[in-house]
Structures are given as structure tokens and as C-alpha cells.
Amino acid sequence: MLPTTGIAMLGYAGVGMLIAAWLFVSFSQPSPKRVLVEWFGTCGLYLALVSLFVSLSLRAQESGSTPALVAFGFLVALFGSGLVVSLVQTVLALRTPGRLTTSATN
């Protein structure tokens, strides 16, 4: 049975975004629209990873494991910053379609 917490639902939504973007990018030609979908997929990947490590951090906190809490907290910060960067790049791709020289699959 799948857990139905808010964090788990965000994680599953991120995985769904990633899979949908991966399929679209795999079968489409390079275009400004594809760059936008690449960044949406990247956001989905980071959202799934952040959700996973937040869940593990909460579990470590409940069990009182300080080393696990520090390790998972570091990973939350690392992937959270990646999520922020990918969200900024997604907004830039929305604002200036066709003008970006970078894409998520470079």
C-alpha cells in the first residue's frame, strides 16, 4: 500500500513529472518547447529527491538518530538548492523561449 502523506504525494508527483518529461524529450526534436519540458522534468527529479530525503529525515528524527539526521539533512539542503536552481531556470525558459543557450540535458 502506498503511503498517502503530503510528502509522499509530492514525491510521487515529482516522479510522474520526471517520467512524462523524459518520454516527451526522448521522442521530440530540439525546440524551445522541449527545453521548457526538460526543465520541468528536472524540477520533478529534484522534487522527488527532496521529498524522499525529507521523509527519511523525519524518520531519523523520530528514532533519535543524530548521524542519520545530519546526513539526510545535508542531502535535503543539497537537493533543495538544486530544486531552487531548476525552478529559476524553468521560469527563465518561460520568460525567454528560444533565447536560452543552456538546457537541462546539456
* Domain residue limits, the chain: 6-95
Model pTM score? 0.86
Q: Give the pLDDT score at 1.
A: 45
Tens digits of per-residue pLDDT, 3-54? 668 899 999 999 999 999 999 999 999 888 899 999 999 999 999 999 999 9
Give 4 or 65, the one with higher predicted confidence: 65
Q: Count other C-beta atoms under 10 Å from residue 49's C-beta.
A: 21
CB 79 within 8 A of CB 49: yes
pLDDT at 86 over 60: yes
